[in-house]
Structure 1
Amino acid sequence: MSATALDAYTLEKLVAAAVAAPSVHTTQPWRFRLDPGALTLQMRAATGRALRHTDPTGRALHVSVGCALFNPRVAAVHFGWEPVPRLPPRPEQPDLLATVRLAGASRTSVPPALYEAVWRRHSCRFPFSDRALPTAVVRELRDAAGADGAHLDLVSPADVDPLLRLIGQAEHRNNADTDRAAESRRWVRASGRAADGLAPEVLGPQDFLDRVPMRDFGTHRRPGALTAVPFEHRPHLLVLSTDHDRRADWLRAGQALEHVLLVATAHGVRASLLDQALEWPDLRDRLILPSASGRPRHAQMVIRAGYGPEGPPSPRLPVPTPWRAS
């Protein structure tokens, strides 16, 4: 395939796919630049959209960029290109987190449902039913995580309540921390406003029984801003983890996370992210998982999955022109 086949429409779709990815607080902390000569899409951190208090190490930012990295890989294959992702350590360019090079005609394929899920996937912060996830679907979700170098574990029924209590403890800390609460409120916008941010209707309700600790983004400062309804009695939780905990592992975790979410979407499974406990080092340490090798695995995300309403999508920034810095 020649470079001339990489037309403006394909470029726009590649970047639009990246922009459709989930991100911490929907901050969308990324910038894109295309190197036309090398047919390489660069993914850079938008440090001005980072969460200095909630994410001081940048772990969640890297996971977010990893999610954004996976989607152009899917789109590239859909359009017939072979994507070659790299996580380059470039000390002289610390904001350059990843690249995707388009290396000629694709040698692989992706199911059409996976590409379609890129555009349909969004977090659902509404109650789910108690319907169990089919074993075959859980197996596909695990395989998706494994294909991108991560692990996915379905939390056993006996461990669900302790994990929810840990997440609830973290949510309580977030609300009590002045800097973190203010940082969360920054990303809640007025309904109908054109700028990016989370509209109240996207946030969904809070759990009437206070069992499923959904992030409230500071709306506790405005009593009655969110309604309270009963959530599912038996939440289905999955923990995504990696063998190591370096910057490259965070980026791999993000790719695995988006792969899992797209497969879930293709199967009609809704998902929301309960990452509060991962934002406090002492609480995150309690989420370290054993592995077959005997070495601990590092939790990178807690996923709440199930069947329920689609819910409204989160807003997205406009797709930038991909052949110049954005």
Structure 2
Amino acid sequence: MHNAQPWKFRFHRDDSTFQVRSDLERAMPRADPSNRALHLGCAAALFNLRVAAAHAGRGAATELLPDAADPQLLAVMRLTDPTSPGHGVENDLALLHPAIHRRHTSRDPFSDEEIPQPIKDALSAAALLEGARLMFPDAWHVQTLLDLVNDAEGRDAADAAASEELKRWVRVGAESAETAGDGVPDYAFGPRKRRGKAPVRDFAAGLSVPGRGTATFENAPQVALLGTTDDGPRDWMVAGQAMERVLLQATLDGLATSLTSQALEWPELRWTARSPESAMSFVQIVFRLGYGSSGPRTPRRPVNEVLDIE
């Protein structure tokens, strides 16, 4: 959420093992009180680590939540012999590596061009490979989701604590936007919505952003739901890796992508996001997909802030 980058990596030379840990100083108690979204983000970073290992020709063995007494230790990934049975090079992941640097969040309008069914099927398969499910809802369900987002936006606007938490991650002004290592810079806000129904969060939050224009967004946004059967920390780690795999595959397939979680941040709204006709019991994230601008690159923290080597 909000490009907070709530992860830390620790590499142990003696056994070629990475630890992936959560950074609770970057948690969002108001929008994410259970740290569900924090787990999704850290799991996405873990997936990129798996892709990087495969790209480097290394095998990897990954264990989620290995120590119940240390809940901030979210995963351990051990580099293995490339020919190790069951833990060799994941060649299918190596193919995704170019998309890591190309994938950005786009808050621009998308075209009305429909995503071909074979691409949708490939994205659903990508989620399934990581143990989650991806579904493309029918028109009535999409409208329900858009109504939930509108409801959530109204609740956020009336919640002073939510507004203050969001402002912590907004970078407005040339000096702030160009020097920040995290958060959402104003050049990534995208245009204000003049018309249209696309579920795009407005990070300006009432702030004045010189030069920011307006645009008409799509009236029939193409969205997808990613979810799991259960809803605990392990499920969140599974969902976060599936989320990143879908995003990278979508990038390779030429799609622009963005994520929306407003409705999922309110428990009384989240349960209605799922389809009663689906085996997906808990929606973990909502994708907006389509053809258009891929969005600008946003800042990343320096390596020495997120990686320790021992």
Same fold by TM (over 0.5)? yes
Q: Give the equivalent residue in structure 2 for 1:303.
A: 287
Give 3-state SS (helix, strand or coil) of 1:233's partner. coil
CA deviations on 1:24-69 (whole Å, 9 max, x unpaired) are 1100001110111221111111111111111111000000011011
Q: Does 1:61 align with 2:38?
A: yes
Q: Does 1:26 align with 2:3?
A: yes
Give 3-state SS (helix, strand or coil) of 1:129's partner. coil
Q: Give the equivalent residue in structure 2 for 1:13.
A: none
Residue 113 of structure 1: how far off its partner (Å): 4.4
Q: Is the 8 A contact 1:184 1:218 kept in 2?
A: no
> How many Å separate the matches in 1 of 2:160 and 2:213?
23
CA RMSD in angstroms, aligned pairs only:
1.9
Query: 1:115/1:209 Cα in 2 relative to 1: closer, same or farther (>3 Å)?
Result: same
Q: Give the equivalent residue in structure 2 for 1:92.
A: 69
Give 3-state SS (helix, strand or coil) of 1:110's partner. helix
Give 3-state SS (helix, strand or coil) of 2:251's partner. helix
| Equivalences for residues 62-77 of structure 1 within 5 A | 62-77=39-54
> How many Å separate the matches in 1 of 2:228 and 2:187?
34
> How many Å separate the matches in 2 of 1:93 and 1:188?
31
Q: Give the equivalent residue in structure 2 for 1:184.
A: 166
Q: Which amino acid aligns with 1:38?
A: D
Residue 289 of structure 1: how far off its partner (Å): 3.3
Q: Give the equivalent residue in structure 1 for 2:143.
A: 161
Q: Give the equivalent residue in structure 2 for 1:242.
A: 228
> How many Å separate the matches in 2 of 1:85 and 1:45?
16
Residue 318 of structure 1: how far off its partner (Å): 1.3
Q: Does 1:281 align with 2:263?
A: no
Give 3-state SS (helix, strand or coil) of 2:203's partner. coil
Q: Does 1:315 align with 2:299?
A: yes
Q: Percent identity?
A: 39
Q: Does 1:120 align with 2:102?
A: yes
Q: Is the 8 A contact 1:150 1:241 kept in 2?
A: yes
Q: Is the 8 A contact 1:127 1:230 kept in 2?
A: yes
Q: Does 1:43 align with 2:20?
A: yes
Q: Give the equivalent residue in structure 1 for 2:179.
A: 194
Q: Is the 8 A contact 2:60 2:89 kept in 1?
A: no
Structure 1: gaps spanning 5 or more residues: 1-23
CA deviations on 1:123-155 (whole Å, 9 max, x unpaired) are 111000000011111011000000001000012
Residue 175 of structure 1: how far off its partner (Å): 1.8
Structure 2: gaps spanning 5 or more residues: 83-87
Give 3-state SS (helix, strand or coil) of 2:21's partner. strand
